[in-house]
Amino acid sequence: MRFLIIDDDEEFRRVLKYYLAVNWSDTPIEEISPADRNITPEQIEAEQYDTIFLSYPMRGEFGFQWLRELRAQNMCPPVILFAQDSNEFLAVDSIKAGAASYFPKQKLRYKRLIRIIRAELGVGVTSSTGLHFMQQSALGRGQNYRYLETLHSGEFSSIYVAKNLLDDSRVAFKVLRQVPDGGSDHLFDRFLQEYELIASIDHPNVVKIFDLGVADDHAYIAMEYLPAGNLALRLNEPLEPALAVRYAQQIAAALSVIHGFGILHRDLKPSNIMFRDDDTIALIDFGLAKQMELEAALTGNGQIFGTPYYMSPEQGHGNALDVRSDIYSLGCLFYEMLVGRRPFVASSAMGIIYKHAHSARPQLDADLRLFSKLLGKMYAADPHQRYASTDQLLDDLTTLRV
Q: Domains, the chain, ranges and CATH?
A: 3-120 (3.40.50.2300), 128-224 (3.30.200.20), 231-399 (1.10.510.10)
The span from the CA of 178 to the CA of 188, in Å, is: 8
Confidence of residue 215 (pLDDT cuts 50, 70, 90): low
Closest CA to 142 of 82, 220, 86, 205: 220
Q: What is the chain's mean pLDDT, rounded? A: 81
pLDDT of 53: 94
Q: Is there a contact between 334 and 244 (Cβ–Cβ < 8 Å)?
A: yes
Q: How do strand 3-6 and strand 29-32 relate by DSSP bridges?
A: parallel
Closest CA to 218 of 245, 184, 194, 253: 184
pTM of the model: 0.63
Q: Work out the average pLDDT over 97-121.
A: 80
Cα 228 to chain centroid, rounded? 11
Helix axes 390-399, 241-260, angle to 10 degrees: 150
Q: Is there a contact between 170 and 276 (Cβ–Cβ < 8 Å)?
A: no
* CA neighbours closer than 13 Å in the CB half-sphere of residue 268: 30
Sequence-separated (6 or more) residues with CB below 8 Å from residue 77: 46, 47, 49, 50, 51, 52, 123, 124
pLDDT in tens, 361-387: 999 999 999 999 999 999 999 999 999
Tell me if residue 7 is catalytic.
no
Provide long-range contacts, Cβ within 8 A and 24+ apart, for 374-377. Answer: 374/400, 375/331, 375/334, 375/335
Which of these is catalytic: 50, 267, 285, 326?
A: 267
Q: Which amino acid is at 198?
A: I
The span from the CA of 119 to the CA of 147, in Å, is: 19
Reply yes or no on whether the pLDDT at 185 is more than 80: no
DSSP 200: T
